[in-house]
A and B are shown apart, each in its own frame.
Chain A
Amino acid sequence: MNRVKSPLPSKKNQPKRVRSILFKGLIFVFGLMFGLSVPWYFYINYITDTIIQDRWDIPSVVYARPLELYQGQSLTAKALSFELDLLGYQVTAGEPKPGQYRRQGQQYTIHSKGFVFPEAATQPQRIQLQLGAQSIQSMTPALARLEPPIIGRFYTADFENRQPIQLPQIPDSMIRGLQAVEDRDFKNHHGVSWLGILRAAVKNLLAGEVVQGGSTITQQLIKNKLHYSENSLLRKLHEALAATLLERKMSKGEILETYFNEVYWGQEGKVAVHGVVEAAQYYFAKPVARLTLAEQALLIGIIKGPSWYNPYRQPERALQRRNVVLQVWLDTGVINPTQHQQAKASPLALSNNRQLKTDFADYMDVVSSQIRKQFSLQDLKSQGLRVFTSMDPYVQYKTTQTARRTSEWLSTEVESVILVSGAKNGELLAVTGSKTAASQYNRALLAKRQIGSLIKPLVYLAALELNPAFSLESTLRDEPLTIKTADQQTWQPNNWDRKSMGEITAATALIQSRNQATVDLGQQIGLARLVGFLQQLGLQVQRNNHPALFLGATELTPFEVQHLFGLFASRGANQFINSIRYVTDQDNRILGRSKQAMNHHLNQDHIDTINWALHQITTTGTASKLTTAFQLTGPLFGKTGTTNQGRDSWFAGFNHQYLATVWVGRDDNQPTPYSGSNGALVLWGHLFKNL
């Protein structure tokens, strides 16, 4: 009988095999750990390096124009109070300190905060002024300017809102207060507080859920940087290793400074508020150095849960949290009992400033598009530029308020756009791209719409420039006419009143916005020559073979229309509406400034002639409502525009100070009951009544 070999190893060989398996297993585990931990270490190392590097990643700040104060300046008490509130100035009954003002009737005493302008630093100073009904009657000193309000920033790719501050600039109570609340062992640990973790673990075990974290300030900094959402063990390990590494690379002071510049303090729309400078500005509209103890305590308290303790939405909860922080500060000796009593008795005193920020979004779109032509986006994101614009916050406020009432004055079905610029210098003062804050669509820049009769001043200007024999006294035929177009169709233009006036002067044709007479003139000029003339003015008119172009059958954005009428308002001086005055780097060196250019060779007399007609339009023509119903005073100039069945209602007009373009219509391009005279003109009239 043959012996069958057993497949099982003999008992003698078993320990050897086990040792072999164990050894291979050990090698495998070691290899696995090595393979995972080395990349993990390098990843953590990279993260900590990024934190150090990002300390210098600063967004660019965009400013509105500074308010100039001098005797004779046109300024109402309402406008001045608005500006002061926007800048975060607080009313006081006593002698004003920097950032405060006192009002006694029409007399203001303002203690400015000071600002470093590119040409000179303006020191904080006391300004005393007496207001009349519409202007400053007297003032000491003779000339002063307030700080320019911040209207926005160019953020990092994830739209974070940061502005760096150095540790010595932060109040000592806030630095010690942060440690007292968030990490009492901060000075002694090496990134991880094992005692703190143990304490938190016991509490969590007793509670049966995670109720307390044992994270140090260093760990929180890592967590903030890595944007973790879950609270897992792996995350804790990750944080612990990164925190230990970070403590080897940065001093305690640098970690604290980075923390204050990095930590998340809330949300403003789509923009996250990061850093103590932003938080102080967002919640109290003041610099960090001027935060009171109560305000400091609120900010430190909010860190625990910026959404849960949001003082705007949960004032009671935020107040309780602030008082808890104050109690901790008292217990740990950060503040004394007197300071505690005073701080605890203070109200939250939040700023209303933040609520105005949405008003600036449409203007920021213009700044963004114009600045990209001069600077690379990367520079704007990372180099901490200072962009000084011409935005007038009060005009912007009035413009926004006017647009908001579109539904009340016209209809809920239509949208509106309003742009305002300086009549003489072409500086953009305000933009509102929709009637509601909810709409993100900036029609001022993006909505290409037919301009209708707004083109007529340009047609008549072209005739003056191109036909030497033509003047506004020339005769035109306002009669039915039939034109054969390039595609062998017939086209018969009509007047808005379906009537014809016969032979009329060119002046009457322009003032009364007669279509048939304008087409008669257009045919004298020739379509190709008109297109060439418009293109010379920088108008992006596509080659159009249809004579309807004489009546404005071309699409422009409201912003492009503003450019066009800037030519008339400035008497030929400005062809372009600029939002940026100049840009500096962080050291106040000017990197670029807006430059004016006259790229046309228009005869100024011709522009003045058209302006005469534009003035007549506001007294006896299609916009006479401005001087009759609205009773606006001073010379006004402007032109109405309407497209088929009221799809677009336009008015572009100016006085000696402002040029404004208003568009009204539906986004779906459906008909509306509005012409230029009873639609856009209504908003324009209300705006100029209130400016």
Chain B
Amino acid sequence: MFSHPPILWLRSLGCLLLLLLLTHCTQRRVDVDQEIRDPAAGNASLIQVNPLVPAAVHDLLQEADALREAGDLAEAILTIQRGLSIVPGSSLVQQHLAEAYLADGQYQQAMYWSTLVVNQGPDQGTLCERSRRTQALAAELLQEVAIQAQALESIASCSTQRPNRF
């Protein structure tokens, strides 16, 4: 039984690694700021699209961000949904909702809302990039490799650079 201890040890290690990997997949907490907003904030597109929403909705989004940062994700989602009930078609609010769902581990919902922003939201600027990054991350966590690849590829299309002057 103990005639091949190195093999047994290797098998055990393999199982442990697999377990850790699976645990990582199921329990991964997404840091929205680090993985989506900060990279997208560097978007230097010449054209930036900032959807207009009522000032009251801006306040709600700020409130939701604070709740999300404090870890109160259920409350954050409800607060954003309140904003969405005021402006149902707003890509900005939809993107916030996608990010909150992502942080909460509800990847299907994150995918739904980010896809909505990708399809119907701005195709230039920071918000454009945020939606594609969210979609890519949600797709990765749902193991939708094709969608993830497509979303990552499309990030580049969110930037229009100033043409060279001659």
Contact = CB atoms under 8 A, between A and B. Distances in A.
Contacts of A571: 119-120
A604 B89 CA distance: 16
Nearest to B78: A119
Contacts of B86: 68, 70, 73
Contact of A143 (B56, B78, B112): B56
Given A70-B55, A71-B56, A118-B75, 13 more contacts: A65-B85, A70-B56, A72-B54, A118-B78, A142-B56, A145-B82, A390-B85, A425-B85, A427-B85, A582-B78, A590-B78, A597-B112, A598-B115
18 contacts: A68-B82, A70-B54, A70-B55, A70-B56, A71-B56, A118-B75, A119-B82, A142-B55, A145-B82, A423-B88, A424-B88, A424-B89, A581-B81, A582-B78, A590-B78, A595-B109, A597-B108, A598-B112
A65 B82 CA distance: 10
A573 interface: yes
Interface in B81-116: 81-82, 84-86, 88-89, 108-109, 112-113, 115-116
Nearest to B116: A573
Contacts of B60: 143
A572 B118 CA distance: 13
A120 interface: yes
Contact of B75 (A72, A119, A390): A119
Interface of A: 65, 68, 70-73, 117-120, 142-143, 145, 390, 422-425, 427, 571-573, 581-582, 590, 595-598, 604, 656
B135 interface: no
Which 7 residue pairs spanning A and B have beta carbons closest together?
Answer: A143-B56, A70-B56, A119-B78, A425-B88, A424-B89, A424-B88, A119-B75
Interface centre among B60, B78, B108 (most CB of A within 10 A): B78
Contacts of A118: 75, 78
B134 interface: no
A143 B89 contact: no
B119 A604 contact: yes
A582 B86 CA distance: 17
> How many B residues touch the partner, as a band?
20 to 34
Contacts of A70: 54-57, 86
Contact of B54 (A71, A390, A604): A71
Given A72-B54, A595-B109, A425 B120 contact: no
B120 to A, nearest CB: 6
Interface in B32-78: 54-57, 59-60, 74-75, 78
B159 interface: no
Contacts of B81: 581
Nearest to B90: A424
Nearest to A571: B120
A90 B134 CA distance: 48
B79 interface: yes
Interface centre among A119, A142, A390 (most CB of B within 10 A): A119
A425 B84 contact: yes
A674 B120 CA distance: 38
Interface of B, helix, strand, loop or mixed by DSSP: helix
Interface of A, helix, strand, loop or mixed by DSSP: loop
Contacts of B85: 65, 68, 390, 425, 427
Contacts of A590: 74, 78
Contacts of B119: 571-573, 604
A581 B85 CA distance: 10
Nearest to A144: B56
A431 B85 CA distance: 19
Contacts of B78: 117-119, 582, 590
Contacts of B88: 422-425, 427
B98 to A, nearest CB: 11
Contacts of A65: 85
Contacts of B120: 571, 573, 604
B166 to A, nearest CB: 36
B70 to A, nearest CB: 13
Interface in B125-148: none
Contacts of A573: 116, 119-120
B100 to A, nearest CB: 12
A390 B88 CA distance: 12
A581 B78 CA distance: 10
Nearest to A598: B112
Contacts of A422: 88
Contacts of B54: 70-73
B125 to A, nearest CB: 20
A581 B116 CA distance: 19
B117 to A, nearest CB: 10
Contacts of A425: 84-85, 88-89
A595 B109 CA distance: 7
A119 B57 CA distance: 16
A566 to B, nearest CB: 12
Contacts of A595: 108-109, 112
Given A68-B85, A422-B88, A120 B56 contact: no
B113 to A, nearest CB: 8
B115 A142 contact: no
Contacts of A582: 78
Nearest to A68: B86
A316 to B, nearest CB: 46
Contacts of A604: 119-120
B16 to A, nearest CB: 35
A467 to B, nearest CB: 23
B75 A120 contact: yes
Contacts of B55: 70-71, 142
Given A120-B75, A590-B74, A596 B59 contact: no
